Structures are given as C-alpha cells and as structure tokens.
Amino acid sequence: MPTLKKRWRLLLALLIMLWSGFTGLSIASNNADVKTQKKEFKVGDRLPNKSISTVNSAGSYRKLNWDELMPADWDPMKALKGLDLSKLKDSDPRAIEALERVREAWKDSPIVFDLNGARIEIPGFVVPLDVNYDSVKEFLLVPYFGACIHVPPPPGNQILHVLVPKTLTKKQQKTLKQAMLIYGTISISGTLKTVSSNTSMGFASYQVKADLIEPYKPPNNLSNTR
C-alpha cells in the first residue's frame, strides 16, 4: 500500500496540472478566495495528517487519515493503465480522454465497509453545497485544496458528505462560515456512514453526521504540505 499511496500522489499532481492547463483555471481567478488563503494553499495541497488509527481520548473519536478511506488493494490508477500522463500536454486529445476516463472510474471507487458507524475525527477542505452560509445544512469535505472547485472531484472514497446538526454552537457556526467563504480548512468529528451521495459538486462515497466542527490545527505546529 505505501507504494500505491506514493503513486496516487503523483497521479493527482499530474491530473491537476493537465486539468488546469486544459480549462485555463487558476486559483487566482476565483473571487471567493481571500488573499490569506491564496498565499497559504495551492491547488492540490493537502493537510499534514500523520495520525492514523489513533483515538482522541477527550471525545473518543478515532483520528482518521484520508488514505484509510481507500481499500488497501485498490489501485486508483487502473483506468490509466498503459498511458504515461507525464508525457502528455494539456492540448493532447489523449489527455482529455484520460481525464474523462478517470472521472468516470472514480465515481465507482470502492469503500472500506468496516468504517461504517465509526466515530471519527478528520481534517479537510470545505466545498460548499448550501447557498446560505448562515444556515448551513450540508457540505463536502475533501483532502486537498481546490477539489470539486478548481479541478475535478477526487474519487468518491475521498469525498465526505457532511450533515450539519442544528445544535452547533455560535463559535462552531462562525468557524464553518469562515471556512465556507474561502473553501478553507476545518476539522470535523462525528459518525461515519458508508452511505453514498450524488451532490452538485461531486459524488461522495461516505457520509458523516457531524457532532463537532472546529478550526483545523496542524499537528505539532506544522504548516501545510505541498
């Protein structure tokens, strides 16, 4: 699995590069991004999340790593067998065909059924689904900046459909609203379900009923990774 994870990171970087060149998108073109967020993250940046399968004793939530949402034997690059993306330019018809092939394959990405019902804590980037940011009922959480907004959605097993409870404190509501406005970072704690959702911004293979929504705090005061 470690080898697959490394190859997955490389594939993601190549896909982002190809898609950005093909569509002409850039992080700076989105008026919703504030200056601080643009300086802090680039499209494709992930959060440092080194804790795997550990338990937060304060709330009995398992700190989950995004890679754990992918079955150990799943190859996210299977749809691209025989094609070297690093040798393609964004104007190459084969690159466009490859992107579409990947998007279709990733909709049916497998999930880890053993996680059903797990109480988890996981950080990520917000992708808004609601128009009214003062009364958010749902949103998507993704592992890297720009997913579903500047570049195509990641595999369904890398998208969480988060349901927001009515019991959020004012502080939590403020945290969520700020993240929504800039597609920013938060940490959520709640119960994970192996329930899929076909949303306007992407197909999510998991659903989380949130209990807590908190600002993201890098482990050991680390900054974001590139």
Q: Average model confidence (pLDDT) for the chain?
A: 77
Round to whole Å and give the CA distance between 41 and 124: 12
Q: Name the residue among 16, 69, 75, 84 with its Cα closest to residue 45.
A: 16
CATH code, 142: 2.40.50.870
Q: Does this model's pTM top 0.85?
A: no
pLDDT tens digits, one per residue of 124-161: 999 999 888 888 999 999 998 877 776 677 889 999 99
pLDDT tens series, the chain, 226 aa? 445 555 566 566 656 655 554 444 333 334 444 444 445 777 777 887 554 444 454 568 999 999 899 998 887 777 666 666 566 665 667 767 777 777 777 777 899 999 999 999 999 999 999 888 888 999 999 998 877 776 677 889 999 999 999 989 999 999 999 999 988 999 999 999 999 999 988 899 999 999 999 999 887 644 444 4
What are the backbone dihedrals phi and psi of residue 90, each rounded to the nearest 5 degrees, phi first? -65, -20
Question: Which residues span the domain enclosing 76?
Answer: 2-221
Domains of the chain: total: 1
226 within some domain: no
Q: How far apart are CA 125 and CA 147, in angstroms?
A: 8
